[in-house]
């Protein structure tokens, strides 16, 4: 499956959040969506997930207009993992993960063997199988994130959109989450993930999309993300190196921090 944003523009409360963004995503690709706070990453992800209709421009799924697709079909094909996902009632972990099967289920139909298999696979992939009988709200932050990720995986969609799935995780679970997203992509699904951590983004992703103030500044392999661009957009200096034959980068220190903050101050949108 291929999803493409075509000249998408969005404004929220009078502010231009996305400005003529055109992008296409292919199956089997792990794409990191990066950019400073307020760059429009979450809004772009919501547009791609069909949760926000663009003011101008269109979204195409396999060449068809997304608005022509039946809601349930869209939901079966594209899974969305929200940022700081909240769960309103104290559900048991296996019940929560099974919610990912809702787009596949008819009203009042019992779980099909396919549903149970998908839930089991998602629990095992995220290493949450042993938590299945626990109540979600009794879990640690890292466990919660993995359970929510399992819920998204249980959809067995062709495209997974994840908004900062590593934000609440410790280093071990961050790496495990990225390994997991990597393996989802290598099994053929497309994965688009919003990340703040440039080290993780450049190490794991096949492709980096850098947004700044609603525009695409860069769309290419992680190696094309240059020091000048990072310092211009983020106002930070990076350190680069090689380990095990692979390049890495680490954000090191701020550049003219005060100027950058001031300049950004007006642009911020929560």
Partner 1 sequence: MSADAIRVATGRSGSLPLLFGLSLLSVLMALASLVIGYARLDIVAAASDALRGTHSLPALVLLELRVPRAALGFVAGFSLGITGAAMQGLLRNPLAEPGIVGVSGGAALGAVLVFYSGLAGAFLLALPLGGIAGAILATVLLFAVAGRGAGTTTLILAGIAINSFAGALTTLALNLSPNPYAAFEIIFWLMGSLADRSLPQLWLVLPLMAIGWALLVSTAPALDGLTLGEDTAASLGFDLQKLRLKVIGGAALAVGSAVAVTGTIGFVGLVVPHLLRPYVGNRPGRLLLVSGFGGASLLLGADIVVRLLPIHPELKLGVVTALIGAPFLFSLVYRHRSER
Residue 68 binds partner 1, judged by CB under 8 A = no
Does 129 participate in binding partner 1 (rule CB under 8 A)? yes
Residue of 51, 65, 239, 250 interacting with partner 1 (CB under 8 A): 51
Tokens of 225: 């993300």
Q: Which stretch binds partner 1 (CB under 8 A): 11-19, 22-30, 129-137, 187-195?
A: 129-137
Q: Does 270 bind partner 1 (CB under 8 A)?
A: no
151 binds partner 1 (CB under 8 A): yes
* Nearest residue (CB) to partner 1, 111 versus 237: 111
Instruction: Report whether 235 contacts 255 (CB < 8 A).
Output: yes
Question: At its nearest, how many Å lie between partner 1 and the CB of residue 163?
Answer: 9
By CB under 8 A, is residue 99 in contact with partner 1?
A: yes
Q: Please report, for the chain, how many H helices and E strands are present, in that order.
A: 9, 12
Specify the long-range contacts of residues 138-146, CB closer than 8 Å, at least 24 apart. Answer: 139/93, 141/168, 141/169, 142/168, 142/169, 142/170, 142/173, 144/85, 144/87, 144/168, 145/85, 145/169, 145/173, 145/177, 146/173, 146/176, 146/177
49 is an interface residue for partner 1 by CB under 8 A: yes
132 makes contact with partner 1 (CB under 8 A): yes
- Among the listed residues 141, 191, 129, the one whose alpha carbon sits nearest the alpha carbon of residue 170: 141
- The least CB distance from residue 121 to partner 1, in Å, is 14
Residues with Cβ within 8 Å of residue 66, at least 6 apart in sequence: 3, 50, 58, 59, 60, 74
Letters for 69-98 (x = contact with partner 1 by CB under 8 A, - = none) are --xx-xxx-xxxxx--xxxxxxxx-xxx--
Please tell me the distance from the alpha carbon of residue 8 to that of residue 44, in angstroms, as a whole number. Answer: 9
Using the rule CB under 8 A, give the single segment among 102-110, 184-192, 208-216, 224-232 that binds partner 1. Answer: 102-110
21 binds partner 1 (CB under 8 A): no
Q: Is residue 269 within the footprint of partner 1 (CB under 8 A)?
A: no
Q: Is 127 a binder of partner 1 (CB under 8 A)?
A: no
Residues 6+ apart with CB under 8 A from 222: 32, 201, 202, 203, 205, 207, 208
CB burial of residue 87 (10 Å; 0-12, 13-18, 19+): middle
Q: Which of 2, 105, 134, 264 is close enough to bind partner 1 by CB under 8 A? A: 105
Given the rule CB under 8 A, which residues bind partner 1? Answer: 46, 49-51, 71-72, 74-76, 78-82, 85-92, 94-96, 99-100, 102-103, 105, 107-108, 111, 129, 132-133, 148, 151, 155
């Amino acid at each position: 499956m291929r999803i493409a944003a075509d000249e998408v523009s969005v404004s929220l409360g009078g502010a231009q959040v996305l400005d003529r963004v055109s992008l296409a995503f292919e199956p089997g690709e792990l794409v990191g969506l990066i950019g400073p706070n307020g760059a429009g990453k979450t809004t772009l992800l919501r547009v791609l997930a069909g949760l926000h209709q663009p003011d101008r421009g269109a979204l195409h799924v396999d060449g068809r207009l997304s608005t022509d697709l039946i809601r349930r079909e869209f939901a079966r094909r594209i899974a969305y993992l929200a940022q700081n996902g909240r769960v309103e009632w104290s559900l048991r972990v296996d019940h929560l993960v099974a919610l990912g099967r809702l787009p596949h289920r008819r009203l009042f139909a019992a779980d099909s063997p396919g549903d149970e298999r998908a839930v089991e696979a998602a629990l095992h992939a995220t290493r949450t199988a042993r938590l299945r009988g626990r109540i979600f709200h009794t879990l640690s932050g890292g466990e919660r994130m993995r359970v929510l990720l399992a819920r998204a995986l249980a959809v067995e969609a062709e495209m997974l959109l994840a908004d900062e799935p590593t934000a609440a995780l410790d280093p071990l679970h961050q790496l495990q989450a990225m390994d997991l997203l990597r393996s989802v992509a290598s099994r053929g699904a497309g994965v688009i993930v919003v990340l703040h951590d440039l080290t993780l983004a450049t190490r794991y992703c096949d492709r980096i999309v850098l947004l700044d103030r609603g525009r695409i500044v860069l769309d290419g392999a992680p190696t094309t993300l240059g020091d000048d661009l990072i310092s211009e957009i983020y106002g930070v200096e990076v350190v680069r190196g090689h380990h095990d034959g692979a390049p890495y980068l680490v954000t090191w220190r701020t550049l003219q921090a005060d100027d950058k903050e001031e300049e950004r101050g007006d642009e911020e949108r929560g």
